[in-house]
Each structure stands twice: as C-alpha cells, then as structure tokens.
Structure 1
Amino acid sequence: MEMDDGDGGKCMESPLLPKTRDYEVHESRTKREDILTEVKKQLKLAGPLVVVNLLVYSLQVISVMFVGHLGELALAGASMATSFASVTGFSLMIGMASAMDTFCGQSYGAKQYHMLGIYMQRAMIVLLLVCIPLACIWANTGTILQFFGQDKEISAEAGKYARFMIPSIFAYALLQCLVRFLQAQNNVRPMMVTAGITTVLHMFTCWILVFKSGLGNKGAALANAISYWLNFLFLALYVWMSPSCKATWTGFSKEAFNDIPKYVRLAVPSATMTCLEIWSFEMMVLLSGLLPNPKLETSVLSISLNTCSMIYMIPLGLSGGVSTRVSNELGARRPQAARLAVFTAIFMVATEGILAAMTLILGHNIWGYCYSADEMVVKYVGEMLMLLALSHFFDGIQSILSGTARGCGWQKIGAIVNLGAYYLLGIPTSILLAFIYHIGGKGLWIGITVALLAQALVLLTITLRTNWEKEAVKAAARVESVMTPVQVL
C-alpha cells in the first residue's frame, strides 16, 4: 500500500507497524494474565494461612476468656503469664522455625523434594533443644516477674499458670516445623482443617479443666498444652499417611543431624528478626504502666494491641504466601516470577490496608464498647484506632517485605533493619512523645508507627535494588550444596 510521504512523493507502508502494535497488545495481555495468575496463587495460599493464624491465635484468647470467669486475680495472672510466654518462648519458636521458609521453599522449587523432610527434622532437633532452657525459664516465671518489680500476688499466680504451660512450648515448636514444611509445598488446607478441629475441641477442654476438674486457671494452661499437642498429632498423621507428602516425607533420617550449624546460622537471625518486632509491641504495654493514670493507659494499649494483632492476621497470611512463592520461584531459577510475586503481594496488602483502615476509621467510635462500658475508655480507644488505621497500613507493607526477606534468605539483613527501626528510632520516639511531650499512650503508638514506616521504607529500598537473577543463583547454590552427586545427575 502506497502512502503520501508529505512531500508529494510516495512511500510504502511498513508491514512491521501493525505487527508491532499487535505484539504490544499481546505482551500487555500476557502481563495481565501473569498478574491474575499470581494473585490466584497467592490467595490460594494466603486464605487458609489467615484462617490458621486466627485459629491458633484464638487458643490462648479462649483460655484467658475462660479464666476471666474465675476472678480478677486469676485473670491477671493468666494474662501476665501468657504475655511472658509469648515474649520468651512462642515468638522465639516462630522465628527459628521461619528459617525453613528459605531452606524448604527453595528446595521445593528446585524439585529436591526429599530435602523438605530432612530440613523439618533438622529444625525439630534445634527447636526442641532450645525448648529445654525455655522450660527452665517458664518454671521460674513467678520469681522472674517479681525480680522485675511486678505485683507479688499476680506474679505468683502467673508462675503457677506458666508451669502448667511448659508442655506447650515443646508441642508448639514441633507444630511450627510441620506448618512450615507443608507451607513450603503449597499444601495449606490440611492446616486449616486441623486447626479448626483443635479450636472446637479446645473449648470443651477448657470448660472441663477450668470448671469441672478443680484446676481453675491452671486448667486453662493445661488445655493449651493439650490442644497444641493434638494439633501437632493431627498434622503429623496427615504427613505420614497422605500421598501428597510421599515425595517430601521419606521417613526419619540420620542426615537430619548433618549441617545443623548451617541451619542455626540462619535460624538465629531469623528469630532475632521476628522477636525484635514482637518484643517492641509488648514493650509498649509495659511502658504504658509508667504513665499517669496507668490503669486507663494499660487497658487502652492492651485493647489496641489485641485489635492490631487480630487484623494483622490478614497481612501475616499474605506474608506467608509471598515467602513461599518467592522461595519456590528462586529455587526453580525463575527470578522474574519471584519479582512478580513480590510486587503483586505488595499491591494486594496495600489494598487490604486501605480497606482495613477505612473500617477502623468508620467504627472507631463504637469499637471500644466491645471491651468496656466506660465512656472514657471507649473515647480513648476511638482516638487510638485512628492511629492504628495508619500503623496497620505500614505494618502490612513491612510484613510482605519481611516475607520476601525470608523467601530470599535475607534474615540477617532483616534483623539489622528491625533493630534500627524499632530500638534506635521507634522506641526512643515513643518515650520522647509519651514522657517528654506528655502525649501519653498515643505517643507510644506514634513511635511504633514511625518504626513500621522506617522498617517498610528500608526493606522496600532493598527490594527495589535487588538483582533477582543473582538471588536465583544464590538459591541454586544453597540447594546444590546439599545435593549428593547422584542427585545432581
């Protein structure tokens, strides 16, 4: 076809032009399809993980609710013991087990399926050994709390509760290992089923042990241990009997005792990364007790923290999903797919953060009535929820980026970032605003929000500057370092 060239001459239309436009349309359509496929994969992972997180979190909440009917002292002791156990034990187990996100996820992506069972056994060995000194700490909870100036009567009650919780820590450690093992292979629905069954049974167990056995609040602590062990046994039976785990669980192996230091080298910064974040939130509640009108401040901070923890289960599920997707894709040497997974997850959690923030803002005047009829408490909770709406958005972003760090094996970097964000910036800001400028509990929460923003910005900068091809090479080297010559062939 001839065309006027603008000078009266004729020129031929290039047949490449329509092809170029067609290629661009096709490429755009392909990108949209890739993003939609990635969204479906992550929702398929994150949905059950959100439910699992909520159900496991609810076990201790249910126990404390039952204890609440026994009186103020029993409730205070159980609440203090639960908080102490979270800081000294459960958070540590979560952190150390999350090293499996890197090892198991990348091995699964590289089709080194048998290594998932080896890594799980290796993690179980390490975590159970760590549980021994933790059990000794829990056995002396009452003495430790008194040493730090807590009320003697409440400390003694918390000590009794904590001693009955000691079996929980061993079950929780094993359970975390099984959860990471199944999560790495995108097999999350069984966890949702077993957690649901355990939660229902937990209600009956609490009722019997708290009200019928004569154990009182100690019965609630024992119910926690029973429920964690039941959940572990249910999942262990599934792994042992299910055909879906046939390739990843090949039985107990002496190989699990090899390279334990290698696992520990990643588990320690992984635990540090997790604990530094969790401890900072618990520290806010402790600091609130030093403010004027400590009963009001502590109550409102506790309500805010419970609310924050509850809605955080959604970003936490997405974080687990992106950690699995990134580690799988890097192990399979698909760096651009890993990159797509990260930015898709960021978009999803940002959307969730906006919706959650809008919900908190719209309901800020009535949420406090769920916890108290005191108008002062309700009003203060409403003011805190306005801040919580902002902090939750940043918390969601950092959770995705932290999940990315676990999938890539950046736990050491994550630990350094969390140390700086929370302890060099966030907590000093909280203390400055709360105690120097007398903003009170709101000042404490603003400091945490500043820490979350700093953490998210630094991790986002690292993620944006990441060379994903190099990360895939590192993942391949990590996987190949445990392969025998036969496996390599």
Structure 2
Amino acid sequence: MMPSMDEPLLGNGVEKTGGAVLTELRKQLYLAGPLIAAWLLQNLVSMISVMFVGHLGELALSSASIATSFASVTGFSFLAGMASSLDTLCGQAFGAKQYSLLGIYKQRAILVLTLVSVVVAVIWSYTGQILLLFGQDPEIASGAGSYIRWMIPALFAYGPLQCHVRFLQTQNIVLPVMVSSGVTALNHLLVCWLLVYKIGLGYKGAALANAISYLTNVSILAIYVRLSPACKNTWRGFAKEAFRGIPNFLKLGVPSALMVCLEWWSFELLVLLSGLLPNPKLETSVLSICLNLGSLAFMIPFGLSAAISTRVSNELGAGRPQDARLATRVVMVVALFVGVFIGLAMVLARNLWGYAYSNEEQVVAYIARMMPVLAVAFVFDDLQCVLSGAAGGKRLVLVLILVRTTSSGFQLPSVSPSFII
C-alpha cells in the first residue's frame, strides 16, 4: 500500500514527505529572505566607503583596500565569529523555551566582544608599521595606517551590532534587522558624501562614516529590543548573570570565531599579499574590488547559513533531530541553485562590474578577466558556507549531550546524536 503525503517515507532512515519539505522551505525562506537583505545592506556600508574612495585616486583606493582587508583579518572577522556562537546558544535556548537566557547570553557576548575590541584597537593603531614590516609599499602602508585609525570607533559598534542581530534572528525576528540595515545603508550614502566631499576629510571621512553607520544600526536595533513586545520574554533588562560563565562562553566563542576567521582570512590575505606584487597599486585595487563583489554576493549564502543555523538549533533545542536533518538537506539544494545562478550572473556581467569602483579602463578590463575565476570559487564557497551554518546550529549539542547542562542551568532535552548527517 502506497503511503499518503501526510505519512513519512522510509529510506536511509526517516524521511519527510513532499509537504513537509515545502513547509521547511517556506520556513527557511521566511528567515533567509530578510536576513539576506539585511546582510547585503550591512555589507554595503564598507562597499560604499570603498566606492567613494575609489574615485579619489588609485593610491587612495589601494590604501583603503589594504586597510579594509587588514581590519577584516584582525578585527571584524573575529568579532563576527565570536558573535556567531549566539546562533547556537540563543537558538537552542529559544527552542527549549528558556527565554530569559537569551538576554543574558547577549549581554555576556557584548561584554566579551567589547574587551576584545580594546585589544584589536591597539593592534590597529600600529597598522602602518606592521604593513611595512611585511614588505608593503611605503605609500600604501602609510595611507592604510591612517585609514584604519579612523575606523577604530567602528569596532566598538560592530560587536554589539552583531550580537543584536543574532539575538533577534534566533527568535525568528528578522524584519526589524532588514529595516534597520536599509535605513543605515541609505544614511551611509549621505554620511560618506558629507564627510568625503563637503567636509573634505577625503578617504579618512569614508573610514569614519563606517563607525557612524554601524552605530546608527545598532542603536535602532537596541531601541527595538527594549520597546518591542516581541522581546518582552527574552529581554528583561541588565542582569548580573551576564558577568558569570564567561569562560564557558569563550569555549564556544573562540572555536566559532576561528571557523569564521579561517574563511575570511583566506580571501583577505590575498589582498594583503597582492601588495607585494609588481605594480601593487593596480594589483591591490583590482583584487580588492573582485573580493568586495564576492563578499557582496556571499551575503546570500551567509543569510541562508544564518537561517539554517537558527532552524537547526531551534529544532535540536526542542528535541526534534529529524526535523533538523531535513532542514539541512533542504538548504543544501537551495544553496546549490543560488551558487550556480550567482556564478552565471558574475560571468555575464563581467564587463560592467569595474565601473562602479573606478573609471580606469585598465582596472575595468582586469576585473573582467577575474570574474570567471571568482564565479567558480563562489559556487563552492556557497556550499561550504551553508554547511558551516548547519554545523553551527549543532555544535553545542555535542558538548551538552556529554555535560547535560551549562553554567546557567540550561537543561537540554534528550537528543540522540543521530541528527548528524
């Protein structure tokens, strides 16, 4: 007798029906759609700054490109990676209906990330000397050192911003994140124009504009968290518990940061190394633009990654490992389709991308030759990113299965390790 559409099918384990797959797909798109828009808009902040600088001259573009890559390698990637541990912590606490823990985890993360930012700020203040030590062109190193010093305030807004985004997305609250990012991106255009051209700060103004825009974004989200009825159960004001359990947070936060950093570093180090090539101004500018475009496209799988991390952690927190497995399989199919589509778009529009950053024909032609390589790399990076998101939703469960409880008293429901694909 053939099973109905409402009954599970049997294969290599328990499989969901076509109806369940469509339901899961709708859940993921509901989460991923606004998140992809939010990440794209957030990424536009640094992208717009580089665009403004690119029209100031090749040296300014090279300096800003090196500085932005150095900032990503030494600061932003580590902060984003540590904040991604909230995908696991908050997601599973929310799935287990331990709502008060979400606010505590968020405060604890902000505290740790602020302390990390102080250390990073000290490193950034010596960027020029560090780049010279590694053989960078003296003019580019000097300009990059100046640019990144004006970016230091952005550090102290970026960490809390990432914590607020994760705090909301693990509760399936994603529309406010998208709206705040949209307001920030529009505001950033005006801020860049004022600081770069009207006030006359040049490329330094573009760097300072990042801090203003990140602060605007996190302020909007912080006001929403404190005033919205949707967060009344998860945000209960400041708690002393946030100062406890920091070592346990670091045990999850540091590996999470390394997982994100290793991927970011593999790209950003290419920009830094391009400064050692002959004609470093051209090589650095072109490679930075290509990777900037790649980063913009990467926000789509990054949004899918955040969505699957939330879905998996929620389902495991609620004790439904089979639903977590289904969610992972659905997102892999979506990611493959997205990767092929974006890769084709890169190749077909390869002769147009360069004009957004530069009026130099040599730069535009060079970028066109790089696009097919970038497209192929994106397809594989797309799949890797989504798998990382699925792993992020699972990683804490493996630890909690052994220790059963965290320092905050979060009791995990009984979960079998069979959710691992």
TM-score between both structures, scaled by the size of structure 1: 0.77
Equivalent residues of 2:98, 2:410 under 8 A apart = no
Other-structure match for 1:477:
404
Q: How far apart are residue 226 of structure 1 and its match?
A: 1.1
Q: Distance in 2 between matches of 1:106 and 1:190?
A: 21
Letter in 1 for 2:2: R
1:207 equivalent in alignment to 2:193:
yes
The aligned counterpart of 1:283 is 269
Kept in 2: contact 1:330–1:471 (CA 8 A): no
In structure 2, the partner of 1:71 is 57
Deviations 1:113-146 (A, max 9, x none): 1100000001011111111111111122222222
Structure ranking higher on relative contact order (CA contacts 8 Å, 6+ apart) = 2
Q: Which residue of 1 aligns with 2:2?
A: 21
- Deviation (angstroms), 1:163: 1.7
Determine which of 45, 59, 80 is the counterpart of 2:45.
59
Matched, 1:146 2:132: yes
CA RMSD of aligned residues (A): 2.6
Listed one character per residue, the Cα deviations across residues 151-210 of structure 1 (whole Å, up to 9, x for unaligned) are 223322222222221111010011111111001111011011111111111111122222
Change over 3 Å in CA distance of 1:220–1:359 after alignment to 2: closer
1:40 matched to 2:21? The reply is no
Q: What does residue range 382-421 of structure 1 map to in structure 2 within 5 Å? A: 382-409=368-395
Alignment of 1:82-97 (within 5 A): 82-97=68-83
Greater shift, 100-109 or 358-367, is seen at: 358-367
2:236 is the alignment partner of 1:236: no
Closer, same or farther: CA 238–206 of 1 in aligned 2, 3 Å: same
1:357 aligned partner: 343
In structure 1, the residue matched to 2:98 is: 112
User: How far apart in 1 are the matches of 2:146 and 2:270?
Assistant: 25
Matching of residue 333 in structure 1 with residue 319 in structure 2: yes
Identity of aligned residues (%): 55
Relative to structure 1, the CA distance from residue 170 to residue 371 in structure 2 (aligned partners, 3 Å threshold; closer, same or farther) is closer
Count of equivalent residues: 406
3-state secondary structure, aligned to 2:136: coil
Q: Deviations over 1:409-435 (max 9, x none)?
A: 26xxxxxxxxxxxxxxxxxxxxxxxxx
Within-5 A mapping of 1:210-225:
210-225=196-211
CA distance in 1, matches of 2:323, 2:16: 13
CA distance in structure 2 between the aligned counterparts of 1:201 and 1:125, rounded to whole angstroms? 27
Q: 2:17 aligns with which of 31, 46, 61?
A: 31
TM-score normalized with structure 2 length? 0.88
Q: Deviations over 1:281-318 (max 9, x none)?
A: 12223344445665665444334322321211111110
Higher deviation after alignment, 135-144 or 94-103? 135-144
* 8 Å Cα contact 2:70-2:268 kept in structure 1: no
Matches within 5 A, 1:175-190: 175-190=161-176
Give the 3 Å change call, closer, same or farther, for CA 107–292 of structure 1 in structure 2: same
Contact 1:342 1:404 in 2 (8 A): yes
Equivalent residue for 1:157, pick from 115, 118, 143: 143
- SS of equivalent residue, structure 2 residue 167: helix
Are residues 134 and 85 of structure 1, via their aligned partners in 2, closer, same or farther at CA, if it must alter by over 3 Å? same
Q: Which has the higher helix share?
A: 1
Structure 2 gap segments, 5+ residues each? 10-14, 412-421
Helix, strand or coil: the match of 1:21?
Answer: coil
Q: 2:244 is matched by which residue type in structure 1?
A: N
1:121 to 91, 99, 107: 107
Structure 1 residues 189 and 131, CA gap change in structure 2 (3 angstroms):
same
Rg larger in structure = 1
Gaps of 5+ in 1: 1-19, 411-469
Once the two structures are superposed, residues 224-247 of structure 1 have per-residue CA deviations (whole angstroms, 9 ceiling, x without a partner) of: 111111111110000000000000
